[in-house]
Amino acid sequence: MTNDGFILSSAPNFRDLGGHRTAQGGTVRHGLLYRSDALHTISEPDLPVYNGLGIRQLVDLRTAHERESLPDITPEGAAYTAVSVQGPTAAGGNFSEALLDRERARAMFADGAADRFMFDVYRELVTDPVALTGYRDLVERAAEGPTALVFHCSAGKDRTGWGAALLLTLLGVDRAAVVADYLASNARQENTDKWMRLLAEHSGLEWDELIPMTRVRAEYLESSFAHIDEVYGSFDGYVSDALAVSPATVAALRARMVA
């Protein structure tokens, strides 16, 4: 851990999902499951720490365009896997390209539209077929190993945020702790702010118009859970019917991740 409280200063939203208590009285084990922002940013001074975490799987949740533009630095000894959770037509898919087109950017994000855009993203993350396939893959990889595993997107807050919420909920962590873990991303967006400000300059939009896209809000995450109840009846229905994650996989995940 660095003096600034980050495991990796060059990837400020890289963090361990361990330490949470579960409803069954267990504790999520440390050092097995990490979430992160972009991993192309790892600096030379951070490499020894990054390589020393024992990571065996890196799961990249970004779109093909993001992966090709900014390829990951994979830890020594880890297998890299691309697992898309957004199709090219999804609400959040490649939104950065829209910000390069001033007319399109204004239509999509100006005058409060960025706020509506974010709620659309969070609803699609629990219903879009690409998302369902991708998050099932993430859960199965976490359950089957090898561990440790890190999963990430660009900012580590939305696609990764839902992935973390899903995994922690499956492990039996209560909603308040899941939301608290999700909101911790807000203090870790230094890298995101840099590239979002550059995009904002090209878009012609004011920074305040884009702020809803640069931070997480409890309402965003709660909208995913609410949409699950609306569409699938319950979180358990979402897991069994939409994600098609088996009870055996959930049991294996808990056996591996909870002490």
> Do the domain assignments include residue 10?
no
Confidence (pTM): 0.94
Active-site annotation holds for 125: no
| Segments forming the whole domain that contains residue 251 | 15-257
Residue 2, domain member (yes or no) = no
How many structural domains does the chain have?
1
What CATH number is attached to the domain comprising 215? 3.90.190.10
Question: How far apart, in whole angstroms, are the C-alpha atoms of residue 112 and residue 128?
Answer: 24
The answer to whether residue 36 sits within a structural domain is: yes
Q: What is the 3-state secondary structure (H, E, C) of 79-132?
A: EEEECCCCCCCCCCCCHHHHCCCHHHHHHHHCCCHHHHHHHHHHHHCCCCHHHH
Is 9 contained in some domain?
Answer: no
Residue 187 corresponds to which amino acid? A
Catalytic residue among 11, 90, 118, 153: 153
**Residue 124 within any structural domain of the chain:** yes
Model pLDDT for residues 110-128, shown as the tens digit of each residue:
778 889 999 999 999 999 9
pLDDT for residue 91 is more than 60: no
In this structure, what are the phi and psi dihedrals at residue 214, rounded to the nearest 5 degrees? -105, -5
C-alpha to C-alpha distance for 227 and 203, rounded to whole angstroms: 31
190: left (phi over 0), alpha (psi -120 to 50) or beta: alpha
The answer as to whether 80 is a domain residue is: yes
pLDDT for residue 211:
87
Q: Does residue 116 or residue 222 have the better pLDDT?
A: 222
Q: How many CB atoms lie within 10 A of CB 129?
A: 10
Does a structural domain hold residue 144? yes
Is residue 7 situated within a structural domain? no
C-alpha 78: how far from chain center: 19
